[in-house]
Amino acid sequence: MKKLQEYVSSFDGNSLPEAHSILNANAKLICIEAANEAKIAYCRGMDRSTAGSRMMPEKKLLEAHIKHGITALNIFDKCPKIGTADVRSRALAKLQEDINAELERYKRLNQAKKVTGCASAMTACGDSVLLGVGLGAAASGAAAVTYWTLQTGLVSAGIVAIPISLATLFVVWLYVSAKPHIDDCLKKEPQ
Q: Rounded CA gap, 5 and 29, in Å? A: 10
15-46, pLDDT tens digit by residue? 545 545 677 777 888 888 999 999 999 999 99
Q: Please provide the average confidence, as pLDDT, over all residues in the chain.
A: 76
Lowest mean pLDDT: which of 46-55, 72-81, 88-97, 176-185?
Answer: 176-185
Residues 134, 154: one domain?
yes
Of 60, 89, 112, the one marking the end of a domain is: 112
Most confident of 68-77, 105-114, 115-124: 68-77
Residues 107, 134: one domain?
no
| Mean pLDDT, range 101-127, rounded to an integer | 72
Rounded to two decimals, the pTM is: 0.54
- Residue 104: the pLDDT is 94
Looking at the structure of the chain, the number of domains it has is 2
The domain of 165 spans 118-187
Residues 38, 66: one domain?
yes
Residues 139, 98: one domain?
no
Of 96, 112, 128, the one marking the end of a domain is: 112
